[in-house]
C-alpha cells in the first residue's frame, strides 16, 4: 500500500478542562491538536492522527507508538498527570528512531526534561505582545521556505536563559516586544531519533493558524522522520573479534 | 576558614553485597569508594568524603548535597534501588552547578540516563583483557599530564555503539584487545554543571590503583568544580523591559 | 529533464605522477577518481564526473562548481599546488550549500584545513595493517546499511589525536592492528553546506573497491547533497524593522 | 618571577587612518586598543600590551606571539592588509594553545574566517541604536558576575543570520532596537586553543568604556588563557604498539 510511504504523525495534546474554556475554544474549537493535524494532513507526504491525555493509556499505547514516525507534544497545565511510564515509553521510542516535536509549554513536560536532561527553565510573560522570529540557520531543512524573519502579532513571551543543553542547531531566535530574546527553534539528536523544540503556540492565540508557523511544523515533521527505527537498545554481552592472549 | 577553598567531593558507591565478595575485597578491601576518596584526599585542593546506598537517605541527603561540589558515581547491580527522588535531586543539583563524574557501569544508572537523556546502551565482555586508552583531546584540562596513550592490563570491555548524545568533548577513546573501541572519556555541559563519564573501573580489577587513572579522576574533579552554584531553576513571570504598544 | 533530479558529483583527485606508478596503477589503472566515479554512477540518483589538478583552472572552474552538488576531494602529495584561489572557491561554495567529502589524506589539503579551521594533524604508519571500522552512530544516514563493524585487510594507519574541531557527529571510529584508534568518519555543518571526512583510502590499497566503503561514500553523497544552494554570502546594510526612538 | 603567573595579553588593533578621525579620537584618544589594554591592566592577574598593523611584522612577530597567552583582535577597514602569513601564524598559535578574542568587526578578519572556517556574514546598520545583551548561558565563566541583561545605549547593529559554525556555547544573545537579534557572544574550541567572539564595540561609540563590557572581556581573557601551549602540530610517522601479523 502506498500508504506505507507516508510519514505517520501523532499529535498529542493534554486537552484538559483548561483548553475547553471560551478563551481557547474561540480560537481552537476542536482543540489545537485537531488544528495541527488538520494542516499536516493537507501535505501529501503526511498522515496525522491525534491523541489526548484522557484516551486509553494516556493516548500513547504500544499500538499508537508502533504506528508513529513523529510525535508532536503539546502540554501545559497537566504535565504531572502524564505517568512516568508514559514519558519513559516516549523517550525510549525517540532513542529508537521516532522523531519528536515539542511545542510551546512542552518545555516543562516529562518527556522534554528527561529526553534533554534539562530543567526547561525560562522566564515568561502573558501580554499578547508582538514577537518576531528570526531564522538563524537558513540552510537547515526546517527553515526551507521560511523568510528571514516573520511576525506573530500576539504571543506569550518566553525568554532566556533557556534551560537546555547546547542545541545541535539553533534554527530560530525570537525577539519579543517587551525586550526579551529566546532560542525559539532548536534541534537535538538523541541516538536514533531527532527532536525539535518550537516556542510559538500559546493556547489563546491563533498561532497554529499562522501560515508560516504551519510551514515550520510541516518542515520539522519531514526533518524528524526516522532514518530507521530499531528495537529496544540493550547491552549485549559479545564475543571477542581478535585473538585474546 | 581556608577549608572553604577546597573542592568538596562526595564519592558515592552502591556498595552492596556484590562488592563484598572476595573477588572484589581482595582489590578494594574497604570498597572502591574508599580507594577513590583516598587518592583524592592526597591532593591539597580536594576534600573527599564517601557515601553509600545503605546510608540514610541513600547517602545523598540535602545536607550531603549542600556540601558537595563534585559527585562521583559508581553503581552497577543496584541501579534500580536508587529511588527516583534521589536521582532527581542529583540531576537538579547538576543543573544548578554541581559537577558529576560517572564511572564505569554508571552508564545505566538513573542519574546518567536522565541527565544525558540517553539509553546508555553499549556492548560488553568480561575477559580481563588489555585496554589501551588514547588521549583524543590532549588540550582538554582532564588530559593534563596524561600521556598520549596508556595501558590498563585487565579491564572489562565496553564497546560502541555507546548510547549517548554527542559529547561536548571526546577526551579519550579506548581500544580493547578483543577488537572493540569505545569513547571512554566524554564531557557534557548541563546548564550550570559539568559532567564527565570515564569508562575504566571494573570492580574486580585494580583499576583505581592505577596511577594514570587516578590522575584522570583528579583532573576531572578540578575541571568539574562549579563555576557558581545557584538555587532552584524555576520559571519566573517577568515584567516588560520595553514599552508595549 | 529528469536529469535535474540527479545529485551531481565531481570527484576531484590531484592525480599527479605519484599516482601513475605501478604500485598505484595496479590497483587503480585509470586513477582512483575514476573508480570512485564508476561506483557512484551505478546509483540511479547520482551523476558523477571527474576532475584533476592538471585540468584547466585546476579542474574547478566556475562552470564545474556551478554543476556540482557534492565535491569529493582526494589529495596527498600535491596539496601545495592547489592555488589559494581554488581552495577559497571551494570553501565559498560549501558555505553556500555544496556538500563536500574529504577522503583519506585530504586531512592536510587547503580546503580541509581552512573549511574546518583545523591543523589536520594526526599520526600515521604505512604497514598495510588490518583496520576494523566501527559504526559509532548507527542512526546516522551515512551509516544506513553499514554493519556494526567491518574490516579492511590492508590500510595505512591514521591515529589520534586528530586535529579537528568537535564533529557534529562521530559516525565511525577505526581501530588499527598496531594498536591505534581514529575518528575515521566525522561530519560537520558549515553554514549551508555539509562536510564529511572519511579515513580509508590509501592509494596503493584496493580500498575503493571494497563494497562497504563504496556504500559509505554513496550514503555520504546522498547525505551531503544541498538542502538549498544560495548565492554569495555577503553583509548587507539593512533598514530598521521597528521604530527607532 | 611572580610575573610568570600573569596572563599575557596582546591587544591588536588595525589602528589605521579611519581610527584617527575626530569621531573616533573623541571616544578613544589613544586608540581603542589602549583603552582595552588599560582596563585589562587593572586586573592583578593580567598583563596587557598593545600591537598595531603598522608595527614591524604587522605587530605579530614570533617574539610577540611567544609572549602572548591571549590575543585580542580588532579590525575593520584594513582586513585585506593583514598578510596571509600573519593570519596563518595567528591561527597556528591558537591551534597550539593561545586564546583569541575577536571583537566586533573582526567577524570578517582573515584569522576569524580561517580559524572558524566561516563566511562571517551578517547584516548591519549604523544607527546608534540601543542594544540589550542577554546572558543565555549564565553558568559559563565568561558570564561570571554579568547581570541577566544589560543595555548599551548606542551601538552598531549586527543581525542574524550570522555565518559561523555551531558554537560550543552561545553565552550572549543581543536584541537591537530596530528589531534584529544576534548571537553576540559565542565560544569555540580550536584544538588546544579557545576562541570567543563578542559583538559590541563600534569605534565611534564608547562601548569599551562600559563597565559590564569590560567585565565580559576580562572574564573572556581568563577563560581563554591556555591550558597548555605546545609546539607545532605535525603528523609524525609512528611505530606499531601491538604486534603486526
pLDDT given for residue D3 in this prediction: 64
Helix, strand, coil proportions of chain A in percent (round to 5)?
30, 30, 40
Mean pLDDT of chain C: 96
What residues in C contact D179, CB-CB < 8 Å? Answer: 240-242
Neighbours of A, requiring at least 3 CB pairs below 8 Å, are B, C, D
Cβ-Cβ contacts under 8 Å, A168 against chain D:
166
Among the partner residues C134, C136, C181, nearest to B134 by beta-carbon distance: C181
- Substitution target in A137, A148, A161 with the highest count of D β-carbons within 10 Å is A161
Q: For residues C55, C58, C62 and C64, what is the CA-based torsion angle, rounded to 10 degrees?
A: 50
Per-residue pLDDT of chain D (245 residues; tens, 9 = 90+): 346 789 999 999 999 999 999 999 999 999 999 999 999 999 999 999 999 999 999 999 999 999 999 999 999 999 999 999 999 999 999 999 999 999 999 999 999 999 999 999 999 999 999 999 999 999 999 999 999 999 999 999 999 999 999 999 999 999 999 999 999 999 999 999 999 999 999 999 999 999 999 999 999 999 999 999 999 999 999 999 998 86
The answer to whether the Cβ–Cβ distance between D162 and A137 falls below 8 Å is no
Model pLDDT, residue A1: 38
- Give residue B4's pLDDT: 75
**Helices (H), strands (E): how many in chain B?**
6, 9
Q: Which of C168, C181, C184 to mutate to test the interface with B (most CBs of B within 10 A)?
A: C181
Minimal CA separation from A97 to chain B, in Å: 12
Among candidates B84, B108, B163 on the partner chain, residue whose Cβ is nearest the Cβ of A191: B163
Alpha-carbon span C114 to D148, nearest angstrom: 36
Q: Which chain D residues touch B149 with a CB distance below 8 Å?
A: 241
How high is the pLDDT of residue C1? 38
pLDDT, averaged across chain A? 96
CATH class of the domain comprising A2-120+183-224: alpha beta
Contact C233 D163 (CB under 8 A): yes
Residue C152 near residue C141 (C-beta atoms within 8 A)? no
Residue ranges in chain C whose pLDDT is less than 50: 1-2
For all residues of chain B together, what is the average pLDDT? 96
C99 vs chain D: nearest CA distance in angstroms?
A: 14
Spell out the CATH class of B2-117+186-224: alpha beta
Q: Which CATH architecture has domain C2-118+185-224?
A: 3-Layer(aba) Sandwich (3.40)
Smallest CA-to-CA distance from B200 within B78, B74, B14, B43 is with B74
Q: How far apart are CA D195 and CA D202, in angstroms?
A: 20
For residue A244, the model assigns a pLDDT of 84
Reported in sequence order, the residue ranges of C164-226 that DSSP labels E, i.e. its strands, are 169-176, 181-190, 193-198
- Quick check: B143 pLDDT over 80? yes
User: Which residue of B131, B139, B190 is the best one to mutate when testing the D interface, meaning the one whose CB has the most D CBs within 10 A?
Assistant: B139
Q: To the nearest whole percent, how much of chain A has pLDDT over 70?
A: 98
The predicted structure's pLDDT at residue A3: 64
CB distance D125 to C237 below 8 Å? yes
Give the pLDDT band of residue A78 (cuts 50, 70, 90): very high
Tell me the C-alpha distance between C228 and D36, whole Å. Answer: 42
Q: How many helices (H) and strands (E) does chain D have?
A: 6, 9
Q: Is the link from the previous residue into A161 a cis peptide, with omega within 30 of 0?
A: yes
- Asked if D160 and A173 come within 8 Å (Cβ–Cβ), the reply is yes
Are A71 and A33 in contact by the 8 Å Cβ rule? The answer is: no
The chains in contact with chain D, meaning 3 or more Cβ pairs closer than 8 Å, are A, B, C
Are D134 and A159 inside 8 Å of each other by CB? yes
Q: Nearest CA to CA, how far is C56 from chain B (Å)?
A: 40
How far CA C231 is from CA of A95, A145, C93, C133, D19, in Å, comes to 37, 16, 9, 38, 33
C-alpha cell at D155: 551601538
- What are the two backbone dihedrals, phi and then psi, of residue D201, each rounded to the nearest 5 degrees? 135, 40
Subunits with 3+ C-beta pairs closer than 8 A to B: A, C, D
pLDDT digits (tens, 9 = 90+) for A132-173: 999 999 999 999 999 999 999 999 999 999 999 999 999 999
Q: Which CATH number fits domain D2-120+185-224: 3.40.50.880, 3.30.1510.10, 1.10.10.60, 3.40.50.300?
A: 3.40.50.880
**Is B2's pLDDT higher than 50?**
no
Q: What pLDDT sits at residue C2?
A: 45
Which residues of chain A does B118 touch, with a Cβ-Cβ cutoff of 8 Å? 95, 117, 190-191
Contact C125 D240 (CB under 8 A): yes
Residues B100-136: tens digit of each pLDDT: 999 999 999 999 999 999 999 999 999 999 999 999 9
Which SS3 state, helix, strand or coil, does residue C171 take? strand
For the four alpha carbons of D181, D184, D190 and D192, in that order, the dihedral sign comes to negative
What is the Cβ-side half-sphere exposure of residue B221, based on CA atoms within 13 angstroms? Answer: 28
Q: How many other CB atoms are found less than 10 A from the CB of residue C23?
A: 11
Q: How far apart are CA A24 and CA D58, in angstroms?
A: 65
What are the phi and psi torsion angles at A147 (to 5°)?
Answer: -70, 170
Which residues on chain C are in Cβ contact (under 8 Å) with B137?
161
Q: How confident is the model at residue B3 (pLDDT cuts 50, 70, 90)?
A: low
CA of A80 vs chain C CAs: smallest distance (Å):
31
B235 and A121 within 8 Å at the Cβ level: the answer is: yes
Model pTM score: 0.97
Set of cell numbers at residue B31: 570498597
Quick one: cell of C85? 584561489
Read off the pLDDT of residues A167-215 as tens digits, 9 standing for 90 and up: 999 999 999 999 999 999 999 999 999 999 999 999 999 999 999 999 9
D113, containing H or E segment:
helix D110-116
pLDDT of residue C4: 75
Nearest to D170 among A134, A170, A174 (CB): A170
Amino acid at each position: 500500500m502506498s500508504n506505507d510511504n507516508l510519514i505517520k504523525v501523532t499529535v498529542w495534546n493534554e486537552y484538559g478542562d483548561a483548553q475547553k474554556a471560551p478563551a481557547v475554544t474561540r480560537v481552537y474549537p476542536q482543540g489545537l491538536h485537531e488544528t495541527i493535524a488538520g494542516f499536516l494532513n493537507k501535505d501529501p507526504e503526511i498522515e496525522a492522527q491525534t491523541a489526548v491525555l484522557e484516551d486509553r493509556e494516556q493516548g500513547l499505547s504500544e499500538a499508537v507508538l508502533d504506528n508513529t514516525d513523529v510525535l508532536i507534544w503539546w502540554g501545559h497545565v497537566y504535565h504531572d498527570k502524564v505517568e512516568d511510564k508514559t514519558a519513559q515509553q516516549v523517550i525510549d521510542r525517540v532513542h529508537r528512531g521516532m522523531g519528536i516535536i515539542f511545542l510551546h509549554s512542552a518545555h516543562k513536560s516529562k518527556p522534554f526534561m528527561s529526553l534533554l536532561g534539562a530543567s526547561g527553565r525560562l522566564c515568561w510573560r502573558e501580554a499578547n505582545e508582538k514577537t518576531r522570529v528570526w531564522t538563524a540557520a537558513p540552510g537547515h531543512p526546517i527553515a526551507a521556505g521560511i523568510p528571514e524573519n516573520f511576525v506573530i502579532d500576539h504571543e506569550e513571551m518566553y525568554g532566556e536563559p533557556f534551560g537546555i543543553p547546547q542545541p545541535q542547531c539553533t534554527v530560530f531566535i525570537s525577539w519579543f516586544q517587551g525586550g526579551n530574546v529566546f532560542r525559539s527553534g532548536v534541534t537535538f539528536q538523541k541516538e536514533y531519533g531527532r527532536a525539535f523544540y518550537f516556542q510559538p503556540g500559546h493556547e489563546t492565540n491563533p498561532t497554529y493558524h499562522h501560515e508560516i508557523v504551519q510551514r515550520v511544523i510541516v518542515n520539522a515533521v519531514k526533518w524528524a522522520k526516522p532514518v530507521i527505527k530499531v528495537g529496544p537498545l540493550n547491552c549485549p554481552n559479545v564475543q571477542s573479534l581478535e585473538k585474546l592472549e
